[in-house]
C-alpha cells in the first residue's frame, strides 16, 4: 500500500487488515508510518517502509523488501499522491515537476516493480488510484489534472498490453474526498469545485474501493453517481461539462 500513512491509503489499509490481509505500508515519513501502523487493528503489525515513489531505485528496493518478507505480491494498491492547486501562472514550476514526478512517474515506478514480481509468480492485482479529475478537469488543477490524466492513459495502456496475463488491473476514480490533503490547501488557491460539491468521508471512499477490489472491477467507482458521471462525460461531454461549469461558477471567488 503506497501512500499508506494517511488519507485514502490508510483507510483502505485498515479495511484490508480487517479482511485478514498481511500488509506493507509505504510512505515518505517514518513517523507518519509508525502512527499509521498503530492505527491499524490486528495482531499482525504491518511492515512499514519509508519510500518516495518518485525514485525508481527507492521503489525497487521497497518492493523487493516486501517480497522478501512475504514471499510475493498478491495485491498492490498505489494511492501515493500530492496535490498542487491554483491558477496556472501562480503555481510554481517546481510544483508542476514534483506533482508529475510523484503522481505519474511514481505510478510508473510502482507498476513496473510490482508487475515484474507478479508475473514472476502466480500473478496478482494492481490497483491504481486516480481521481475524479481524471474524468474532467476544472479551474485550479493545471498541475494536478495532467498527472492524473497521464496515470489514466498509462493504466489504459497497461490494460491492453497485459490482457490475458496473470496480472489484474483496476483504476479508481475517487470523488472529492474529505482528507487532510484537501483541508490543508491554502484558501487562496483552493479550487471552487471543492466548495461546489460536498466531500465524501474517507471511510466511505475506502469502503467503495474495497468493494471494487473484492469484485475485481477494472474501473472502480465509489458511488453509482460517479459511474454515471464517467459515462455521461463519454456520451455527452459538452452538455455535461456546461452543467458542471455553471454549478462550480456559483462558488468561484
Q: Give a yes or no: residue 1 inside a domain.
A: no
Question: pTM score > 0.85 for this model?
Answer: yes
Model confidence at 31: pLDDT above 80: yes
Domain around 242? 7-249
Q: Give a yes or no: residue 172 inside a domain.
A: yes
Q: What is the per-residue pLDDT across 75-96, written as a single tens digit (0 to 9) for each?
A: 999 999 999 999 999 999 999 9
Q: Give a yes or no: residue 2 inside a domain.
A: no
The number of domains in the chain is: 1
Q: Give a yes or no: residue 214 inside a domain.
A: yes
Please provide the DSSP assignment of the chain as one string.
Answer: -BTTTSHHHHHHHHHHHHTT---EEEES-HHHHHHHHHHS-SSSPPEEEE--TT-HHHHHHHHHHHHHHHSS-SEEEE-------B-TTTS-HHHHHHHIIIIIIHHHHHHHHHHHHHHHTT-EEEEEE--GGGT---TTBTTHHHHHHHHHHHHHHHHHHTTTSSEEEEEE---SEE-HHHHTS-GGG--THHHHSPPEEHHHHHHHHHHHHHHT-SEE-SSHHHHHHHHHHHH-HHHHHHHHHHHHHTT--
Q: Give a yes or no: residue 201 inside a domain.
A: yes
pLDDT score, position 253: 59
Q: What is the per-residue pLDDT across 13-27, written as a single tens digit (0 to 9) for each?
A: 999 999 999 999 999
CATH number at residue 59: 3.40.50.720
Q: Give a yes or no: residue 135 inside a domain.
A: yes
Q: Give a yes or no: residue 91 inside a domain.
A: yes
Q: Give a yes or no: residue 28 inside a domain.
A: yes
Model confidence at 150: pLDDT above 70: yes
Amino acid at each position: 500500500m503506497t501512500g499508506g500513512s494517511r488519507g485514502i491509503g490508510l483507510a483502505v489499509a485498515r479495511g484490508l487488515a480487517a479482511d485478514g490481509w498481511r500488509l506493507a505500508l509505504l510512505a515518505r515519513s517514518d513517523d507518519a508510518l509508525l502512527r499509521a501502523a498503530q492505527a491499524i487493528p490486528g495482531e499482525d503489525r504491518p511492515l512499514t517502509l519509508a519510500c518516495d515513489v518518485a525514485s525508481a531505485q527507492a521503489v525497487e528496493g521497497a518492493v523487493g523488501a516486501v517480497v522478501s518478507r512475504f514471499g510475493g505480491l498478491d495485491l498492490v494498491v498505489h494511492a501515493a499522491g500530492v496535490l498542487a492547486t491554483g491558477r496556472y501562472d501562480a503555481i510554481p514550476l517546481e510544483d508542476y515537476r514534483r506533482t508529475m514526478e510523484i503522481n505519474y512517474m511514481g505510478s510508473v515506478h510502482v507498476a513496473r516493480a510490482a508487475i515484474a514480481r507478479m508475473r514472476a509468480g502466480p500473478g496478482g492485482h494492481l490497483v491504481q488510484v486516480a481521481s475524479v479529475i481524471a474524468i474532467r478537469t476544472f479551474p485550479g488543477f493545471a498541475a494536478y489534472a495532467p498527472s492524473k490524466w497521464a496515470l489514466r492513459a498509462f493504466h489504459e495502456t497497461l490494460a491492453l498490453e497485459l490482457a490475458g496475463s496473470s496480472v489484474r488491473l483496476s483504476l479508481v476514480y475517487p470523488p472529492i474526498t474529505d482528507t487532510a490533503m484537501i483541508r490543508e490547501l491554502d484558501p487562496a488557491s483552493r479550487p471552487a469545485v471543492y466548495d461546489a460539491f460536498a466531500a465524501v468521508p474517507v471511510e466511505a471512499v475506502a469502503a467503495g474501493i474495497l468493494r471494487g477490489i473484492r469484485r475485481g472491477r477494472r474501473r472502480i467507482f465509489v458511488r453509482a453517481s460517479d459511474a454515471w458521471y464517467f459515462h455521461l462525460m463519454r456520451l455527452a461531454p459538452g452538455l455535461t461539462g456546461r452543467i458542471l461549469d455553471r454549478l462550480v461558477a456559483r462558488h468561484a471567488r
